[in-house]
Structure 1
Amino acid sequence: MVIQRAVGAALLCAVLAMSGCASSGTSDSSGDADDFVLYASMALTGPIAGPVGAQAAGLKAGVSAVNKDGGIDGRQIRLVLNDDGGDPGRATTLLQEQLDKGPIDLAIPGSISNVALAAVPILTREKILSTGFHAALQDAAKYPYEFNFSPPMPTQTQGLVDEIVARGFKKVALLHANDATGNLVADSYERQLAGAGLSLTTEGYALADVDMTAQLQALQAKNPDVFIFQGFGPLAGYILKDRTKLGWDIPTYGNTEVGSIDLTAVSSPADWKNFQVLAMYSGSAAVPRTAGYTQMTDALKEAGVTINQALPQYAAFWDIPHFVKRVWESADSKNPDALVKAWLQLDEKATPDSPFVFMSRLRFSPESHSIDISPEEAVRILTPGPLVDGQMQGRP
């Protein structure tokens, strides 16, 4: 795990260098009164600092690019970037402190759903739009101003269920985190696998667990045909390494959280026997590259950021400022309900000259407020291996 911490620390330093701030503080916290204030609370330190640092680097690069293009309706974006360490209590305190300083135009309230679940009710009360990777908040009726900048979990999991059905597996085992996202993953697989006539056995783990042997043995005892696991950052490494220790080499898939990290930082090729990952669209080297891809990677390299995390982590947060620019300028209003309407009306395709990188298409569902595309568009099944410019190279 030393490798993961070192990567995270190095990337955090690069991100902070881009913003000209110290690691203990807030970036770009002062500016003109007419600035567009983008408030981001992220887990820049802690076990998931590597991928979250990539998100922050992509966000900084995207903000800089939009500002060079005139900002949003002529307003420069002022990014206020705080480190919440993945702690919901700290995140809500930092958010309230920022609200006390002045208005927020858009918020990215946390790097994980558990943090967003604590912060978004405050933003909802204030009628402030928010976005990020928040799979557990895909309910527009409950969170009318929150947009999950990702396909909904059922879209992601359906991509793997289709693969499992095609390969003729009948008995499925699933290991997932006992948190908001992990439980959502389990519920999604349970519904879809049952609909396909397949059986599912599940085990859960706590986010503090570092030994998954007992859970793996419990699943192994059920003699499944295929094993799926969900876990972000070091957790994926613990699972893979303990699977290797048990000599359990049945066909295995990592859910999209696993496909969104640098697996070489948490495991080794010895742990990848009979193993593939479900990855977001832009995580595959086989997808077409847009003008935005070149702009983003050039901007990151110019800022001294080494692209050593999965590309979707950078790409989604690069896309956010570009998409938000289109939302605000098409709404031509600061009214939150008008902005929600404009967000839902946009349909941005990643054409060759497009600035967008994360997905082939960005449009949002009025029901889930998540990216509304098919499983075929959203995800890819890839062979694990070293990342090349943030992308895995594909199947064998």
Structure 2
Amino acid sequence: MALEIAAWSATSPFGHGHDAFAAGVATGAPAPAAQVSDEWFPGPDTAHLVPDFDIQDLLGRKGTGVMDRTTALAVHTIGLLGEQDQRVRIDARTGVVLGTTSGSTLTQFTFTAHSLTRRKPYLVDPAQMPFALMNSAAARGASWHGLTGPNTTLAAGRLSAVAVLRYADRLLRTGRASGLFAGAAEEYSGPRALLERRAGNRARLGEGCAVLFVRAVPEGNRSAAATVVALDTRLAGDGEQRAALTASLRHALTGVAPEEVWGLAVSGVDGVESEAVREVLGMPVERVVEPSRLVGDTGAASGVFGLAALLALAERAGAARGRVAVATAVERDGMVGCVVVRLPGGPVGEGSGT
């Protein structure tokens, strides 16, 4: 059985849904950015924000009074994918696997501050508590849309694309799920900006959610947006990220000829990723996309945005048919990894590997 990406959607600074993101990526120009500031990060800061994203306007007033932006992004994007694509088939074993950095940083900061500053006995808002947990987005995304299959949150940061696909593959191969909404979400907020700047990240931040609908299918299926060929992660020592990523790519691309690789999505960390790919392939890649340049540094969502960008470009490129695309990721803690997918229109690979 192969792990198939049947369909995808995104809520991004380009707008809402598959078509808005695909059109934005096709232009090659960054999404609009805005000046932002708040009590946690007076700034001013410049960020790529999702336009027209009023939670209660989009999702209604019931259950959204204290809903955080990360959860709302996930709920909204899962809904867009489930409602707008006929390739998404939902049953009692359809679930959610969602990647995150740590959940909603703003909610966590606010809840903690209230526990210290409000009058005793520390009268925090109890309705806010569930949203302070990192699994809020996946849990609420499932309950909102009546998804009763497995529900998992993976705090994998920029490696979330690899992590959620690997976890989804296990659930599908063992029969625990029939299909999965697998993706990642990241909000922009003052607390997140504060933490990123304190950690030395000077990149322009962004926000959004990208979700893939994945399922296990017999080898040779040609209806998918892509089929996962390989997944790989490595832990790099200090200053060894390029070497670790090179080893990861060599393993993941075993059996793939260099000329088969059509596209590359990089998370944009210090040029390490492009250099590693050139070293492994020995030749330039035809199409390179850097989501962080287009929609900002979206943290945990960056890898899934990278995959979505490659799939969006491949839909419009005849030269991509049947070829391979690669999405790489590098995290500050030393984790590196990659996802290799086979695009439709040609031979299907041997299925996902670990």
TM-score normalized with structure 2 length: 0.31
Greater per-residue helix proportion? 1
TM-score normalized with structure 1 length: 0.28
* Larger RCO of the pair (alpha carbons < 8 Å, separation 6+): 2
